[in-house]
A and B are shown apart, each in its own frame.
Chain A
Amino acid sequence: MRALAGPAVALTMIVGLLAYRAAHKEVAPARDFTELELSLPGQEGSCYSLSTTFIANGVFGKTPRTWKKVDDDSWALTVEHVIQGYNGPSREFQTWTFERHGKAVELVKVEASQGLPQDPAASLDDLLSAPNSMHSTPVDRCLVTGATGYLFKRK
């Protein structure tokens, strides 16, 4: 009986740890979703993956963000900040809804605070200015000479 005590305690701890990790895991799309090329419906791809675009915009890291699964091929990301104005603190947010379409992920809907881009085209233009100015790494399709992309500026 005593021989089983040690393994039983270890098993309990492992199960507890797994349960804790499962309960506290951040909900986010799989990498095969965020590695898709970002685009607008009806436009050619931007040459940047969703994750590259977010990294260039500083969306990862300490920025408060919340992913929400809309359906199997669609995710919404909310990014928010509290900004200090002369009249006091206020909340600024942007929610982007992305849908998987083949090898691309399309920005289909935007909700945002006043003063921020309100439609997908304006919001995507805003998002793409960071990877374009930094010359972030494009997706494989755009590494080929002569490849073009929506607003894409080759280095």
Chain B
Amino acid sequence: MKKHLVFCLLVLCAPLVGCGKLDERHVRRFVDQADETARKRFAPEICALRAKNFTLHQKFQSANERLPPAELDLDRKMFCVEAGKFARLRQYQLERKSLEVDLAPDRKTARITAEYVETLPYYEPDVMPATPDDFREFQILESRDESVIGFEDGDIVFLSTDADIQQSLVPKGSRDIPYT
């Protein structure tokens, strides 16, 4: 009877042994999931992948090279508000160009470096669009993101992201971005 009990406990605990440890496969799967969530542009799901103390630092160089880059620091609350604005877009494309994973020695966290190309409508700052289609150019955002991911409440989440973004503008007719 005792042997059975010990065996049952071992079987039940086995999946937990790996708990709290990351491996590259987990990390890549998590990044795939995060990218897919971004493509859906559904803020609650985007937010759910960020830790309570998540921070974003973003450096943005506009297409006009004469302007200095804009730097932005956001906590999770503000990040989620911005993610909510994402839902207004009708055309959005996200392509990941590269992904590097660097696991911490204790495998509790990992540093991921990814390069992305995003294509989305460019609405000029001082112009209120009449419809989501009311824009003349697409903006292409080439970014290099360095993120730290780890566990929170048993789930893998982004702990921080440092993004370096370069914007370029192309005429609306030069890209065929499907409506989603």
| Contact B73 A87, beta carbon cutoff 8 Å | no
| Contact B81 A64, beta carbon cutoff 8 Å | yes
Cα distance A54–B67 in the bound complex, in angstroms: 35
Cα distance A86–B61 in the bound complex, in angstroms: 10
Q: List the B residue with the shortest CB-CB distance to A84.
A: B125
CB-defined contacts of B68 to chain A, threshold 8 Å:
87
Q: A64-B81, A82-B82, A86-B64 are in contact. Are A91 and B125 (CB under 8 A)?
A: no
Main secondary structure of the interface of A (DSSP, over half): strand
Cα distance A120–B14 in the bound complex, in angstroms: 61
From A80, A82, A86, contact of B67 by CB (8 A)? A86
| Contact B67 A91, beta carbon cutoff 8 Å | no
| Contact B70 A85, beta carbon cutoff 8 Å | yes
Q: Does B20 contact A (CB under 8 A)?
A: no
Query: Could you tell me the distance in whole angstroms from the C-beta of A131 to the nearest C-beta in chain B?
Result: 25
| Contact A90 B71, beta carbon cutoff 8 Å | yes
Query: Could you tell me the distance in whole angstroms from the C-beta of A86 to the nearest C-beta in chain B?
Result: 6
Q: Does B168 contact A (CB under 8 A)?
A: no
| Contact A87 B60, beta carbon cutoff 8 Å | yes
Q: Does A66 contact B (CB under 8 A)?
A: yes
Q: List the A residue with the shortest CB-CB distance to B165.
A: A88
From A66, A80, A82, A88, contact of B62 by CB (8 A)? A88
Q: List the A residue with the shortest CB-CB distance to B58.
A: A89
Query: Could you tell me the distance in whole angstroms from the C-beta of B149 to the nearest C-beta in chain A?
Result: 23
Cα distance A90–B74 in the bound complex, in angstroms: 10
Q: Does B72 contact A (CB under 8 A)?
A: yes
Cα distance A81–B33 in the bound complex, in angstroms: 28
Query: Could you tell me the distance in whole angstroms from the C-beta of B57 to the nearest C-beta in chain A?
Result: 11
Q: List the A residue with the shortest CB-CB distance to B82.
A: A82
| Contact B72 A90, beta carbon cutoff 8 Å | yes
| Contact A88 B70, beta carbon cutoff 8 Å | yes
From B81, B125, B167, contact of A85 by CB (8 A)? B125
Q: Does B77 contact A (CB under 8 A)?
A: yes
Residues of B bordering A, CB below 8 Å: 58, 60-62, 64, 67-74, 77-78, 81-82, 123, 125, 165, 167
Closest 10 CB pairs of A and B: A88-B60, A88-B70, A87-B67, A84-B125, A87-B70, A90-B70, A87-B62, A64-B81, A88-B62, A89-B72
Q: List 7 A-B contacts (CB under 8 A).
A: A64-B77, A64-B81, A80-B78, A85-B125, A88-B61, A89-B58, A91-B72
Given known contacts A87-B69, A89-B58, A89-B82, what 20 new A-B pairs fall within 8 Å (CB)? Answer: A64-B78, A64-B81, A80-B78, A82-B82, A84-B123, A85-B125, A86-B62, A86-B64, A87-B60, A87-B62, A87-B67, A87-B68, A88-B60, A88-B62, A88-B70, A88-B72, A89-B60, A90-B70, A91-B73, A91-B74
